[in-house]
Amino acid sequence: MAAEDKPTLGVGMIGYSFMGRAHSQGWRGAHSFFDPPALPRLVAIGGRDAAAAQETADRFGWESVETDWRELIARPDVDIVDICTPGDTHAEIAVAALAAGKHVLCEKPLANTVEEAATMAAAAADAARDRGVRSMVGFTYRRVPAIAYARKLVQDGRIGEVRHVRAQYLQDWLVDPEAPLTWRLQKERAGSGALGDIGAHIIDLTQFVTGESVAGVSALTETFVKERPLPGDTARGLSADVSEGRGQVTVDDAAIFVGRLAGGALATFEATRFATGRKNAIRLEVNGSRGSLAFDFENMNVLWLHDAAVPAVDGGFTRVLVTEPEHPYVAPWWPQGHLLGYEHGFTHQAADFLTAVAEGADPTPSFADGLQVQTVLAAVERSAASGAAWTPIAPPS
Ligand code: SOE
């Protein structure tokens, strides 16, 4: 369909900081490289700090700024509400947006508690059934080509029966004890620490790649630096300036857990902001009866593949450069070997969501998927609180 014949979907995005910028980039690029059946129009960006929101609006081409999210949702020219705010606001905004008949894309983790996530998932199911309204949670790393390809290889049986998963999300931006107490370190705003922020990603990736849910966990969590300087007014990505005084860190700095997948595989998970020297190392290794897969986001265009059928003398892991047009998401981009980066996942996410909304299909990961990850996060917290007791998780309904 020619671009001029495509319908337009107005996007209203709430949040303008790190994730707001990543999503802005996604909305801008979605229809330049991909071909969704509807075009996004960057109608309004919402944020309490009008000047900061305006700066993001000017840089990324948002047409207007709203300082009250309720007004943004109420606008008739907003069809899609994109929630890029801290977790404590997700449930209220998402439920209101769905009730107003808006399609909703919500950053991960879906909510701060299982109860909130359940309310959101129920509202999303009602809205889809009654009004054809679509919703999706932003587990963006699913849309990294090498990850999407890893899932396909598992589905195609290339590594056989899954026996082990080793999943790590390693960052180090809190190693400095003088790093400020930003919202991600406050339980009432973020829900949990490394666990919900980055542990949620590796839970989702494990389940996405293997196709199996986490059935039980035994966990340890730790807060290494218990008090930090209070932040000032200026946030910069994960950081901020500091002001007078100090406050308590009320979330975990690191979470480590073992788990059993529904199909019987054993998994280990490690989510930490204290892996000195590791910046955004999302590592996933899956060992199966016929082979293995290994991925590290710090080298995100590569997937390592081991085929156990190859004689050991020539065996080992093959380096697959995931830049061929046959690989998921790659064809619309550049010629082979011209690499993709962090922001491309957000473009893929925006293109997929626009396509689902325009075609009237339910996109994934759904709010129900987000709720299921939330139940795993809650089980990890319960297990850690009880001294690593084995904590079963009910299968997703
Ligand atoms: C901070 O740890 C963070 O920005 C996460 O919140 C994102 O989900 C991840 O993509 C990068 O790191």
Ligand 1 centroid – CA 82 distance (Å): 17
Q: Say whether both 225 and 134 belong to one domain.
A: no
381 in a domain, yes or no?
yes
Alpha-carbon span 136 to 270, nearest angstrom: 25
Q: What is the pLDDT of residue 232?
A: 87
Q: What is the pLDDT of residues 176-208, one digit of tens each?
A: 999 999 999 999 999 999 999 999 999 999 999
Q: What is the pLDDT of residues 293-352, one digit of tens each?
A: 999 999 999 999 999 999 999 999 999 999 999 999 999 999 999 999 999 999 999 999
Which residue, by CA, sits nearest to atom 9 of ligand 1? 198
Q: Say whether both 69 and 94 belong to one domain.
A: yes
Q: Are strands 80-83 and 103-107 parallel, antiparallel or unpaired?
A: parallel
ipTM, 2 dp: 0.95
171 lines ligand 1 (CB under 6 A): yes
46 in a domain, yes or no?
yes
Q: How confident is the model at residue 238 (pLDDT cuts 50, 70, 90)?
A: confident
Alpha-carbon span 162 to 164, nearest angstrom: 6
Ligand 1 centroid – CA 285 distance (Å): 20
Instruction: Give the ligand 1 atom nearest the CA of 140.
Output: 10
Domain boundary among 140, 165, 184: 140
Provide the 10 A C-beta neighbour count for residue 38. Answer: 19
167 or 238, which is more confident?
A: 167
Cα distances (Å, whole numbers) of residue 85 to 16, 99, 122, 190: 8, 19, 21, 10
197 lines ligand 1 (CB under 6 A): yes
- Which one of 141, 172, 198, 278 would you pick to mutate in the ligand 1 pocket, going by the greatest count of ligand atoms within 8 A of its CB? 198
Q: Say whether both 211 and 253 belong to one domain.
A: yes
pLDDT at 145 over 80: yes
Cis peptide before 365 (omega within 30 of 0): yes
pLDDT at 150 over 80: yes
DSSP 172-231: -TT-STTS---GGG-HHHHSSSHIIIIIHHHHHHHHHHHS--EEEEEEEEE-S--EEEEE
Q: What is the pLDDT of residue 1?
A: 79
352 in a domain, yes or no?
no
Domain boundary among 140, 164, 199: 140
Q: Say whether both 31 and 164 belong to one domain.
A: no
79 lines ligand 1 (CB under 6 A): no
pLDDT at 235 over 80: no
Provide the 10 A C-beta neighbour count for residue 74. Answer: 15
Q: Say whether both 112 and 198 belong to one domain.
A: no
Q: How confident is the model at residue 240 (pLDDT cuts 50, 70, 90)?
A: confident
Q: Say whether both 198 and 273 belong to one domain.
A: yes
Alpha-carbon span 328 to 393, nearest angstrom: 32
Q: What is the pLDDT of residue 127?
A: 98
Q: Say whether both 164 and 17 belong to one domain.
A: no
Q: What is the pLDDT of residue 396?
A: 85
Give residue 102's domain range. 3-140
CATH code where residue 109 lies: 3.40.50.720
Q: Say whether both 126 and 187 belong to one domain.
A: no
Q: Say whether both 318 and 190 belong to one domain.
A: yes
Mean pLDDT calculated for residue range 260-283:
98
Instruction: Give the ligand 1 atom nearest the CA of 108.
Output: 8
What 3-state DSSP class applies to 168? Answer: strand
Q: Which residue has the tokens 């009008």?
A: 50
Q: What is the pLDDT of residue 227?
A: 98
Ligand 1 centroid – CA 345 distance (Å): 13
246 in a domain, yes or no?
yes
339 lines ligand 1 (CB under 6 A): no
198 lines ligand 1 (CB under 6 A): yes
Q: Say whether both 131 and 188 belong to one domain.
A: no
189 in a domain, yes or no?
yes
Domain boundary among 140, 162, 184: 140
238 lines ligand 1 (CB under 6 A): yes
Instruction: Give the ligand 1 atom nearest the CA of 107.
Output: 8
pTM over 0.80: yes
Alpha-carbon span 267 to 217, nearest angstrom: 9
- Which one of 18, 106, 253 would you pick to mutate in the ligand 1 pocket, going by the greatest count of ligand atoms within 8 A of its CB? 18
> What is the count of structural domains for the chain?
2
Alpha-carbon span 19 to 349, nearest angstrom: 13
Q: What is the pLDDT of residues 2-57, one digit of tens each?
A: 888 999 999 999 999 999 999 999 999 999 999 999 999 999 999 999 999 999 99
Cis peptide before 109 (omega within 30 of 0): yes
For residue 150, give every residue at least 6 positions away whose Cβ sits within 8 Å of its Cβ, in sequence order, or none. Answer: 209, 284, 286, 293, 295, 303
Q: How confident is the model at residue 237 (pLDDT cuts 50, 70, 90)?
A: confident
Mean pLDDT of the chain: 97
387 in a domain, yes or no?
yes
362 in a domain, yes or no?
no
- Residue 332 backbone zone (phi > 0: left; psi -120 to 50: alpha; other: beta): alpha
185 lines ligand 1 (CB under 6 A): no
What residues are paired with 282 via a beta bridge? Answer: 169
358 in a domain, yes or no?
no
Q: Say whether both 320 and 185 belong to one domain.
A: yes
Q: Say whether both 267 and 150 belong to one domain.
A: yes
Ligand 1 centroid – CA 103 distance (Å): 23
